[in-house]
Structure 1
Amino acid sequence: MDEFVIDERGNVLRYFDLHSGREAFEPLVYIHGLGCASSSDYPPVVSAHSYAKRRSLLADLMGSGFSDKPRDGHYHSQAQAAVLSDFVESHGCSRVNLFGHSAGAFVALKLAQMLPIQMRTLILCEPGLTEYGIAMLSEIASQTEEQFVDGGFAHLLAQLKTQGGNDAWLGPFSVASPYAIHQWAQSAIEDNSSHWLDDLARLNAIKGVVLSGAATRDEIAKFEQAGCTVELVANTEHMIAYDNPDGLARAISNLLNLGE
């Protein structure tokens, strides 16, 4: 993996730089959801036959995946976006495209608003929190950071294993920093209750949203009203990258082709 040093203490964000020989100065930066990791979620997507093979930067956010996990790190969405802004600028790109999944959509939207370079396309995948996500993150946020680190995190992992159906999520979740999970859970709840759809509507860029094929007409309409082109991926639920990576690759490629 490649490394990007984020501070004077040498803390490192790690990422894959794939298809770097193509569209080198207009990459697509992948931002994963809470408890996930781009290094585990998106290799099957960017290697799919239907993928546009654009230069793809699969970043593990600080506190997640293979990136460093300092105990005193700042892991709320605004801090993560600030690190990614420096990361993108360090590549000397002329323009950039962003992809954000679930709670990572909030990070992507904040990043889009602070980027020092032009953004071409913003793609949000299953953006925002589901009812299940709100309930789970509210339970995390109801604990103090100390309580969650000392026992709440281990209890949550055991609960997710018992529930079943979380295999795709449990791998990266189990190696995430409990400090990062707690802080990001708090900020994701705040982001979800904010006027983020208004911010999305005001954003001057090509905008796309990828949803499960089971999305309702009302869910689709709210994103269309924000100026987004909506792509549906069949046979999927919230974790689209795992349920149908080829379908997600096709949806991303379609959205990247808008305006060309």
Structure 2
Amino acid sequence: MMKSFAIDDRGNVLRYVDLYSGSRAREPLLFVHGLGCASSSDYPPVVGADSYLKTRSILIDLMGAGFSDKPEDGEYHSDSQANILSTFVKSEPFTRVNIFGHSAGAFVALKLAKCLPDQTGPLILCAPGLNDYGKAMLSAITSMSEAQFVSTGFSRLLEQLKSTSDNEAWLGPFSVASPYAIYQWAKSALDDNAQNWLEDLAALNLTKAVILPDTIASDEIAKFEHAGCIVELVANTEHMMAYDNPDGLALAISRILNLKKGA
């Protein structure tokens, strides 16, 4: 079921899909998507997989993305997105929230967990941070001004992606995203990626897990283990795991949540 949450007194609304609300209703898993994505389109195949735990799952479209509102004067950097999600969580009768964040959404998820130190269950980061392709694309976006990107840069980028990308599913949510949101989040994601975010992750006193492709280098695995993370590997996937192998991603998430449940 699609639900909404008013983020201000001007009627701007955050929208999300609320699934399996009868199962562990007060301990949901919040899905935070990556830049240019939308949880409402990315994660239904994951939470619908046979291997999924079927715990209450809240598929959030961040402001500026998917079905959520896209005010031109909105603030879309990662701190603002995390603060909105924190306000949403505090408005609900949740005893605990488990958090999933993909790609640049991992930075938002990490900041959300820091906002809710006593309420966060397992924090699951999926392919966290920016790969070389992501850094190059976001650097190209932020090489121009926000006004330039909104007026011409966004449409040009979309045409370029349509001609070079083989992932039509990803282009759907990207094409309907706010260009203001894309620009502002791109800028903050580059800043977040350049910071010592792994140190922040290591400092969190909660269950932490990272889901990575099984082709990842061993030194990448080691740095997450050093930060105190459980590491799950998913076969036959690259960065966009929800599209490449939704069943494998569902199984990895379920293993992490089942591990904590049995602890």
Do structure 1's residue 166 and structure 2's residue 167 form an aligned pair? yes
RMSD of aligned alpha carbons: 0.8
Q: What amino acid is the match of 1:76? A: H
Aligned with 1:67: secondary structure? coil
- After superposition, what is the alpha-carbon deviation per residue over 1:60-83, rounded to whole angstroms, capped at 9, x for unaligned? 000000000000000000000000
Please report how far the alpha carbon of residue 258 of structure 1 lies from its aligned counterpart in structure 2 after TM superposition.
Answer: 2.1
Q: What amino acid is the match of 2:208? A: K
**1:41 matched to which residue of 2?**
42
TM-score, length-scaled by structure 2: 0.97
TM-score, length-scaled by structure 1: 0.99
CA contact (8 A) 1:109 1:200 kept: yes
Please report how far the alpha carbon of residue 166 of structure 1 lies from its aligned counterpart in structure 2 after TM superposition.
Answer: 2.9
Q: What amino acid is the match of 1:15? A: Y
Aligned with 2:23: secondary structure? coil
Aligned with 1:257: secondary structure? helix
| Separation of aligned partners in 1, 2:93 and 2:37 | 27
Q: What is the number of residues matched between the two proteins?
A: 260
* Aligned ranges 1:104-253 → 2 under 5 Å: 104-115=105-116, 117-253=118-254
**2:28 matched to which residue of 1?**
27
Q: What amino acid is the match of 2:62? A: L
Please report how far the alpha carbon of residue 164 of structure 1 lies from its aligned counterpart in structure 2 after TM superposition.
Answer: 2.7
Please report how far the alpha carbon of residue 214 of structure 1 lies from its aligned counterpart in structure 2 after TM superposition.
Answer: 1.2
Q: What amino acid is the match of 1:66? A: F
Aligned with 1:112: secondary structure? helix
Where structure 1 has 5 or more consecutive residues not aligned to the other structure, the ranges are none
CA contact (8 A) 1:85 1:116 kept: no
Q: What amino acid is the match of 2:122? A: T
CA contact (8 A) 1:94 1:117 kept: no
| Separation of aligned partners in 1, 2:197 and 2:117 | 21
Where structure 2 has 5 or more consecutive residues not aligned to the other structure, the ranges are none
| Separation of aligned partners in 2, 1:152 and 1:106 | 25
- After superposition, what is the alpha-carbon deviation per residue over 1:26-48, rounded to whole angstroms, capped at 9, x for unaligned? 10000000000000000010011
Q: What amino acid is the match of 2:100? A: F
Please report how far the alpha carbon of residue 168 of structure 1 lies from its aligned counterpart in structure 2 after TM superposition.
Answer: 2.4
